[in-house]
Amino acid sequence: MWRFVCVFVHKVGLLDLELNQLTKALFGALVALSVVMVTLQGFAGPWYRNLFRFLLLLSYIIPISLRVNLDMGKATYGWMIMKDESIPGTVVRTSTIPEELGRLVYLLTDKTGTLTQNEMVFKRLHLGTVSYGADTMDEIQTHLRNPYSQTQPPAGGHTSATPPRKAPSAAPKVRKSVSSRVHEAVKAIALCHNVTPVYEHRAGTPAEAEDQDFSDGNRTYQAASPDEVALVQWTESVGLTLVSRDLASMQLRGPSGELLTFSVLQTFPFTSESKRMGVIVRDESTAEITFYLKGADAAMSSIVQYNDWLEEECGNMAREGLRTLVVAKRALTEEQYQDFESRYSQAKLSTHDRALKVAAVVESLEWEMELLCLTGVEDQLQADVRPTLEMLRNAGIKIWMLTGDKLETATCIAKSSHLVSRTQDIHVFMPVTNRGEAHLELNAFRRKHDCALVISGDSLEVCLKFYEHELVELACQCPAVVCCRCSPTQKAHIVKLLQQHTGRRTCAIGDGGNDVSMIQMADCGIGIEGKEGRQASLAADFSITQFRHVGRLLVVHGRSSYKRSAALGQFVMHRGLIISTMQAVFSSVFYFASVPLYQGFLMVGYATLYTMFPVFSLVLDQDVKPEMAMLYPELYKDLTKGRSLSFKTFLVWVLVSVYQGGILMYGALLLFESEFVHVVAISFTALILTELLMVALTVRTWHWLMVVAEVLSLGCYVASLAFLNEYFAPQMESRPAFGHGGHGTARWWPPPQQHLQCVRSIMGTVAGSLCAHPSSTITSPVTLTEWPHRTCSNTWLLGHTQTVAVVATKLVRVTLLYRAEGKWARLRPYLQAHVTCPRSFPQNLGPTGHGRSSLCTEAPRSLLWPSVPAGPGLRSSQPAAPCPCPKPFQPEYVSHTVRCPSVDPCGPRERRRSFQGF
């Protein structure tokens, strides 16, 4: 069982591999975008630090929640499959590859117990000159009564004795009678087997035990093969019943109730090499010793006496789909058996080549045996096998049948099950033993088109040894392939060849232990709980009770699982791309500042509470109803091409995400410039509404849980506006972003209006200078400079330096933009609306009310504004003198900073000369 588990772990779905490739592409896009942002900054300052900042800010490009959503979706698909009332008893034993059911191209199936019920029914008895079928079984009962009608069973259970230990003549007179021939054939079938009758209840007393043992209603048969049970049950139906058996004897009950006791002298079990089994018994009533033998026609044809009907009738029965067995006997004298027993015992005691010596002794009896009869047993097809195979064929799935049966039987089952249509040609690959024969047969097969291939395991082994690629290429072009006489190892090898040479997804289905290797090797394994045990069912990824359930499992659930997972995966990637696009646009607008757009719970809630339920509800979506998918299996063909999830669809979603993210961010900045301090609430609300609307537009068939998910997510967001107002609305209280003066990434707390006026007043001087001298040109963008020696005592500036930088940079950007375009007339009202220039700073900036005298203690070594040549009326000057400051400030954790000058920026012109570089 541990070996099974190891195989399961390594089964990875094709969808997971495709999503891994797309995730790698997204990671490359993340790194490239971060490098571009740092490059546009000009690699100023600690650029490597800014690079990692951008990697963190844009990390939502990589869909970390994709694996969680997909695993939850796969678990949901498995639950839906097991709860489907149309396929009762289905068990999903893996939660990693339900989408594989929607990508299958090759279906490799066993025959016995998979396409058939593995319930053998006796159909034909052929004696050479006469044949008995299902409608003439009553004649056999009549013939069987005749040999026992003239004898009465004595009290001891033995019939009247004939001369004991008398060997029959070469041509006994009883063989001239049809009744005698029928009697010998039925008795041979009733004795030559390994079946044991089992009784459930036994009485306490010996007398009652005997009666209980022989009651027909309380008896069941156990055997290694269902063929054996079918033969014994048939002999019971015609009047010769097996009532008991042990290692040394067996008892039969005749049509009149008499008991026939036989001693079991030797038993030769069935082997795959000999393909036959035999038994030597002694009739206790007559003391006759008889050697009965039965087996496949290929093994028995050289053992029995010459006849002219065996080969022909075997072919006829095989074409009818019957499993044939040849039954023969040989009468032995006491001396012959004693000689055989001594040689057999001596061979079994041999220490050298024991198996060969034992086989040689047994073969000494297997010559010129009397042919008694030929039996035909039918393995009935499972219910709805024909429409299921036709549906799968219409869905574009190629079906290969791998069986251990003989070629004729496999071909007949393929035709009767409509695996091969009756109007379709069948190419039977002739037996080959060397490379030359294989080459000639492959050339003959290459000249045929649109025909099914039937090949034996031996010929397959030879062809794969010399012409593996050519054989697989030709076989894949066939609409159906039947491989007979295949071993379990060959079955698994065929599955591996299809995977290697075609690259398509394969599915193996079986019901017995010999199918386990094939099921484990396939990309998707399906086991059927049959009469051969639960080995295949426990080793498979999916377990079903009947073959007809495969159609709905693939066409309905496999198709839905793949399309839902493809939509879910791409939507999760879109969710991360759109918010990363907004972050990139926001940073680029403010001179590529590595400033987070959304903070704290907003980023956590975006991927969980606000959008998770609507996005995950896509696992309930369906493009067509199950009834339509079953009616039109051709819809399954498109899934094998992988069009639902490809680089083409991925690029479409990327373009949609970039377009939506850019529109949302630019729209919030341009349409709500007067409400700039509310840009977080405006853009985030638009983002949430866009995601909910996108889910609603993606859904094809609405489910009530989808509506609940949409309403619930929207309600949670509306409620969070009230409970998380510090993330959306401006705060009127001063809060340091670094806690108690510690280091860290600054949080964006919108500043009070009076502090914003201070920043605008500073920028008023810059804007006025640029407006007054339109001939000035910009020689470089905003650069970053560290101010390691600057200290500031203002608590609000300590906590909101980043906010000040963003607001001030925005004003510079707008001013420079209007100046560069020459739109001076439009610049004046903008400055009047957005830039105020008070004559003095507010007196309450400092925490102690010291006013502007306590703002700055030391002027920076260089300023952060654009480098503009000095124009008329401007000349360079030295920085202002320092002033005392009680608390240190280290702005290396801030991308853009603004100093408060020690002079009034709105005073006379000579006071503005303190701006170095203007």
Q: Tell me if 177 sits within 8 A of 185, measured CB to CB.
A: no
User: Which residue, among 491, 481, 482, has the nearest Cα to 514 in the 3D structure?
Assistant: 491
Full 3-state SS string of 621-664: CCCCCHHHHHHCHHHHHHHHCCCCCCHHHHHHHHHHHHHHHHHH
Q: 691-694: long-range contacts at Cβ-Cβ below 8 A with a sequence spacing of 24 or more?
A: 691/575, 691/578, 691/610, 691/611, 691/614, 691/615, 692/611, 692/614, 694/571, 694/574
Ligand-binding site membership of 403 (annotated): yes
16 classed as catalytic: no
Q: From the candidates 16, 71, 84, 110, which is the catalytic residue?
A: 110
Q: 709-717: long-range contacts at Cβ-Cβ below 8 A with a sequence spacing of 24 or more?
A: 709/613, 709/614, 709/616, 709/617, 710/613, 710/614, 710/617, 712/613, 713/609, 713/610, 713/611, 713/612, 713/613, 713/614, 713/688, 714/688, 716/605, 716/609, 716/610, 717/605, 717/609, 717/610, 717/685, 717/688
Tokens of 516: 């386990």
Q: How far apart are CA 679 and CA 686, in angstroms?
A: 10
Ligand-binding site membership of 112 (annotated): yes
Tokens of 129: 């000159």
- Distance set, CA 744 to CA 730, 741, 893 (Å): 21, 9, 7
Read off the amino acid at residue 354.
Answer: R
- Name the H helices within 724-794: 725-728, 753-772
Ligand-binding site membership of 912 (annotated): no
Q: How far apart are CA 14 and CA 646, in angstroms?
A: 12
Q: How far apart are CA 573 and CA 658, in angstroms?
A: 12
Ligand-binding site membership of 643 (annotated): no
Sheet containing strand 116-126, edge to edge, reads 131-132, 116-126, 370-381, 322-332, 289-295, 276-283, 259-268, 249-253, 241-245
Q: Tell me if 395 sits within 8 A of 638, measured CB to CB.
A: no
Distance, CA of 713 to chain centre: 30
Query: Left (φ > 0), alpha (ψ -120 to 50) or beta: where does 165 sit?
Result: left
User: Could you tell me which residues come within 8 angstroms of residue 717 by beta carbon, excluding any fewer than 6 positions away?
Assistant: 605, 609, 610, 685, 688
Q: Is 38 exposed, middle or buried (0-12, 13-18, 19+ CB in 10 A)?
A: buried
User: Which residue, among 586, 614, 581, has the nearest Cα to 689 in the 3D structure?
Assistant: 614
Ligand-binding site membership of 511 (annotated): yes
Q: How far apart are CA 158 and CA 285, in angstroms?
A: 6
Ligand-binding site membership of 523 (annotated): no
Ligand-binding site membership of 110 (annotated): yes
- Which residue in this structure is represented by tokens 């089964």? 11
Q: How far apart are CA 39 and CA 50, in angstroms?
A: 10
Ligand-binding site membership of 27 (annotated): no
Q: In this structure, are strands 370-381 and 398-402 parallel, antiparallel, or unpaired?
A: unpaired
Ligand-binding site membership of 405 (annotated): yes
Q: How far apart are CA 174 and CA 177, in angstroms?
A: 6
Ligand-binding site membership of 547 (annotated): no
Ligand-binding site membership of 123 (annotated): no
Q: What is the largest CA-CA distance in the chain?
A: 148
DSSP class of 271: -
Tokens of 578: 């759109």
Query: Please, how many CA atoms are within 13 Å of residue 502, restricted to the half-sphere of its CB?
Result: 22
Stated as kind and residue range, the H or E segment containing 480 is: strand 480-484
**SS3 state at 126:** strand
Tokens of 475: 């076989």
Q: Which residues are annotated as a binding site for ATP?
A: 110-112, 228, 270, 294, 323, 403-405, 485, 491, 514-515
Q: Which residues are annotated as a binding site?
A: 110-112, 228, 270, 294, 323, 403-405, 485, 491, 511, 514-515
Write out the catalytic residue numbers.
110
Q: Which residues are annotated as a binding site for Mg(2+)?
A: 110, 112, 511, 515
